[in-house]
Amino acid sequence: MSKLDTEHATGSARPSAVVPGLDPAWLRDNCQCADCRDPVSGQRLISITNQAREVTLTDVLEASDGLHVTFGPDGHRAVFTRSWLAGQQTAVVDERSEDAKRLWSAADFRAGPVTAWQAYQSDHEARLGCLRELLSSGFMLLRGVPPQPGAVLDVVSSLGYVRETNYGRLFDVRVEATPANLAFTGLPIGPHTDNPYRDPVPTLQLLHCLANAADGGESGLLDGFRAAGLLRAEDPAAFSCLTHTPVTFCYADATTELRATWPMIGLNSRGRIREIRYNSRSMQPVRPSYGTPAEQAAAEMHEFYRAYRAFAAILLRPELTLRFNLAPGDCVVFDNTRILHSRTGFAATGHRRLQGCYADIDGAESTVAVLSRARQRGPGQG
Amino acid sequence: MSKLDTEHATGSARPSAVVPGLDPAWLRDNCQCADCRDPVSGQRLISITNQAREVTLTDVLEASDGLHVTFGPDGHRAVFTRSWLAGQQTAVVDERSEDAKRLWSAADFRAGPVTAWQAYQSDHEARLGCLRELLSSGFMLLRGVPPQPGAVLDVVSSLGYVRETNYGRLFDVRVEATPANLAFTGLPIGPHTDNPYRDPVPTLQLLHCLANAADGGESGLLDGFRAAGLLRAEDPAAFSCLTHTPVTFCYADATTELRATWPMIGLNSRGRIREIRYNSRSMQPVRPSYGTPAEQAAAEMHEFYRAYRAFAAILLRPELTLRFNLAPGDCVVFDNTRILHSRTGFAATGHRRLQGCYADIDGAESTVAVLSRARQRGPGQG
């Protein structure tokens, strides 16, 4: 009963074949009319359970304003514009996965993606460019943030919301007498992600330098997605092992006891790299999988350690780590699900003080999306 | 060169066969001595990359205090107690997955797991029992929380930290004139999880009733892990489809634009149910997977809609939903990665006001772990 091809079919940019490519139930559930979607919120008003088990198309008419459809058995009528339909034909890119990122090595950042705090605050384009860098490269570096306690909270409120934890809304990174965490010593700390013992893990970390008169304490960042991709290319069995083996990370002190279990390399449902959890300090002994006989457990552990060592060796390749010294007023912001950070050792007597803060990257994504809208509307309308 | 079996091997509770079941690299990395683990923080001081590629055991001696090991090639010596070794033989249970939960239907809660706010505040055991209920059943219900604005923040600070979002540290759920979200109307709302467009999703939700004079507006909770398990048992193909198909959820208003992509049923790396994201209001049109030819896309969507409908039908089974009316002073706290909540419609003119707040379940897990320590030490030492 389709009237397709009777009108406007010739010469249209989208051939009529687009209709055979659509499932009626999908089309019905995605009706954009005011009865099916709330005009203010854009939220769906209908439920799949209110629709017939077998939705059909009883009439289809291709007109200049789009596809006019009548559904069976409910008789509902809908119009789908060509541009809307065209937008549904491509696969969704998982914006958090390797597929949506600019993967990098240290040499890609000769100049360094540095933005002045003043420009970031006053210039819409500067802020948008800087935040886009955070999403695509996984980090951004602000310079000139007043080196005063608490200023890191001004940075976080420019891009999202603080993730408060047992460490507080913000925390000091400086040498302590009896540190509950090795971060609060002068020891070198190899590449790691923060708080893998937390679930959900904080997806953004901010580190703001208030003072740095210590020798050493050089900071390093590396792209964990790039490193995991290298492991996949060079040693697929090791990559597979690290994406499947659950690892428990733990942190405990007098008032807190956190524990989370995930593979070191997390994939999305399409098998693409999406999250790195890597921290030798808080990693607990890996256990055999369910029902493994004791005699196989050692072989399983041997394979895990081979894979872990292969990944660890990649993470130490000098060409992967971007090295820099944080100067007072510098604030680095990075994606804690992707970027591993490290620091070289420093003399515990030298004055080095950072303030850190956790936040979430969905807030930064929202900020970028809203700033991008303002740009689409043009200057003066932002 | 093993001295194993030469001492204490006969008659010991753990036979010496436990040693052949251990991988040397695993054992070396998990050395518990003060050179390898920081005695204060318990954090690992050694790195896998500082160890030899092939770790060996050059000497093993089973003594009364445990296993004495000498490693090659570094010559490091370690002692592993029997109890520590025994604790490493069992598989880790993923505490967030179905494997660690008490799955339920409505009939399992005749009496209702209700705790008085006063008892929760003053009685260590009452608080611990209530919070354990939250972890095992996915929700807890407090009664007698003062029905005053902001009191929900007292509840959240008893168990963790607020997850601040674009909705604020807390938010009101009441009827609005031009609602940006259907929650702020009198419409019925089917079972759903909150904020699937956020990533990380808030893992806990609190809803505190300040006033409820409206007809209707009955609340419902259901165990999404139980429901997903039923789908797996009844229709494995549908279950598989919903664990693999990425679905994008979106929320947008004047100042916010959030978008996240995940399957409706999330599994851990061992294939066990771990997270439900389900919200017909904010679900975007499902797109074909990468590289699907147009002619296959419709079939893929048809299969998805068949699976989605099967799951939706299970979610509407009356026996799964626990129904109750929130009275002023009631505060329900639930795991937003597992429990779907719903409400029946109510007259928009009736006075119904809730305050809600998001938080994270890792904070509640930590609180339970620390409260449990106090109990282990016995009364008076907590």
The closest alpha carbon to B365, from B203, B190, B142, belongs to B203
Distance CA B32, CA B34 (A): 7
Question: Mean pLDDT over residues B20-32, rounded?
Answer: 89
Given an 8 Å threshold on Cβ–Cβ distance, is B286 in contact with A26?
yes
Looking up tokens 């674009």 gives B166
**A269 chain-B contacts, CB cut-off 8 A:** 243-246, 262-263
Residue A127: HSE in the Cβ half-sphere, 13 Å Cα cutoff: 23
B12 pLDDT above the threshold of 70: no
What is each CA distance from B142 to B121, B295, B326, in whole angstroms? 11, 53, 10
pLDDT, tens only, B163-203: 999 999 999 988 776 677 777 777 888 999 999 999 999 99
A113 pLDDT above the threshold of 80: no
Share of chain B above pLDDT 70, in %: 91
Burial A10-21 (b: 16+ CB within 10 A, else e): eeeeeebebbeb
Predicted local distance difference test score (pLDDT) of residue A7: 36
Instruction: Indicate the pLDDT class of residue A374, thresholds 50, 70 and 90.
Output: confident
Given an 8 Å threshold on Cβ–Cβ distance, is B304 in contact with A26?
yes
**A248 chain-B contacts, CB cut-off 8 A:** 92
CA angle B81, B83, B89 (to 5 degrees): 110
Closest chain B C-alpha to A22 CA, distance in angstroms: 5
Give the amino acid at A275: E
Nearest to B362 among A53, A198, A294 (CB): A198
Phi (first) and psi of residue A166, to 5 degrees:
-60, -15
How many other β-carbons are positioned within 10 Å of the β-carbon of residue A355? 22
Q: Residue A67: which region, alpha, beta or left (left: phi > 0; alpha: psi -120 to 50)?
A: beta
ipTM of model: 0.91
Predicted local distance difference test score (pLDDT) of residue A375: 67
| Nearest-by-CA chain A residue for B192 | A47
Nearest to B285 among A88, A179, A253 (CB): A88
Given an 8 Å threshold on Cβ–Cβ distance, is A53 in contact with B309?
yes
Collapsed DSSP state (helix, strand, coil) of residue A234: helix
SS3 of chain B: CCCCCCCCCCCCCCCHHHCCCCCHHHHHHCCCCCCCECCCCCCECCCHHHCCCCCEEEEEEEECCEEEEEEECCCCEEEECHHHHHHCCCCCCCCCCHHHCCCCCHHHHCCCCEEEHHHHHHCHHHHHHHHHHHHHHCEEEEECCCCCCCHHHHHHHCCCCEECECCECCEEECCCCCCCCHHHCCCCEEEECCCCCCCCCCCEEEEEEEEECCCECCEEEEEHHHHHHHHHHHCHHHHHHHHHCCEEEEEECCCCEEEEEECCEEECCCCCEEEECCCCCCECCCCCCCCCCHHHHHHHHHHHHHHHHHHHHHHCCHHHCEEECCCCCCEEEEECCCEEEEECCECCCCCEEEEEEEECHHHHHHHHHHHHHHHHHCCCCC
Query: Mutate which of A99, A156, A257, A300 to disrupt the B interface (most B C-beta within 10 Å)?
Result: A257
Contact (Cβ atoms closer than 8 angstroms) between residue B51 and residue B74: yes
A112 pLDDT above the threshold of 80: no
What is each CA distance from B192 to A180, B183, B276, in whole angstroms? 40, 11, 9
A-B contacts (CB, under 8 Å): 272
Distance CA B338, CA B352 (A): 26
Question: Mean pLDDT over residues B361-381, rounded?
Answer: 81
Closest chain A C-alpha to B372 CA, distance in angstroms: 11
**B169 chain-A contacts, CB cut-off 8 A:** none
Distance CA A174, CA A351 (A): 8
Sequence-separated (6 or more) residues with CB below 8 Å from residue B45: A182, A187, A281, B35, B36, B37, B38
The closest alpha carbon to B359, from B158, B70, B123, belongs to B158
Given an 8 Å threshold on Cβ–Cβ distance, is B45 in contact with A182?
yes
**B20 chain-A contacts, CB cut-off 8 A:** 295, 298
Share of chain A above pLDDT 90, in %: 70
Collapsed DSSP state (helix, strand, coil) of residue A50: helix
The closest alpha carbon to B286, from B268, B256, B306, B266, belongs to B306
Tell how strand B56-63 and strand A204-212 pair up.
unpaired
Query: Mutate which of A194, A199, A256, A336 to disrupt the B interface (most B C-beta within 10 Å)?
Result: A199
A252 pLDDT above the threshold of 80: yes
What is each CA distance from A43 to A28, A110, B87, B283, B382, in whole angstroms? 15, 45, 50, 8, 49
Closest chain B C-alpha to A111 CA, distance in angstroms: 31
Sequence-separated (6 or more) residues with CB below 8 Å from residue B246: A92, A94, A268, A269, A270, B261, B262, B263, B289
**A21 chain-B contacts, CB cut-off 8 A:** 294-295, 297-298
Contact (Cβ atoms closer than 8 angstroms) between residue A255 and residue A242: no
Query: Mutate which of A19, A48, A342 to disrupt the B interface (most B C-beta within 10 Å)?
Result: A48
Cα dihedral sign, B217-B223-B224-B229: negative
What's chain B's average pLDDT?
89
Instruction: Indicate the pLDDT class of residue A12, thresholds 50, 70 and 90.
Output: very low
Nearest to A246 among B270, B304, B360 (CB): B270
Most confident of A61-65, A159-163, B322-326: A159-163
Distance CA A313, CA A310 (A): 5
A5 pLDDT above the threshold of 60: no
- A19 vs B33, more confident: B33
Nearest to A92 among B256, B261, B295 (CB): B261
Distance CA B25, CA A308 (A): 11
Cα dihedral sign, A282-A285-A286-A288: negative
Sequence-separated (6 or more) residues with CB below 8 Å from residue A4: A16, A19, A60, A61, A62
- B181 vs A9, more confident: B181
Given an 8 Å threshold on Cβ–Cβ distance, is B198 in contact with A365?
no
Instruction: Indicate the pLDDT class of residue A335, thresholds 50, 70 and 90.
Output: very high
Distance CA A96, CA A336 (A): 12
Q: How far is CA B14 from the centre of its chain?
A: 35
The two tokens of residue B67 are: 């296993």
| Nearest-by-CA chain B residue for A242 | B269
Given an 8 Å threshold on Cβ–Cβ distance, is A41 in contact with B180?
yes
Q: Of the given ranges (A15-29, A316-330, B25-39, B268-282), which has the lowest mean pLDDT?
A: A15-29
**A89 chain-B contacts, CB cut-off 8 A:** 287-288, 294, 297
Sequence-separated (6 or more) residues with CB below 8 Å from residue B10: none
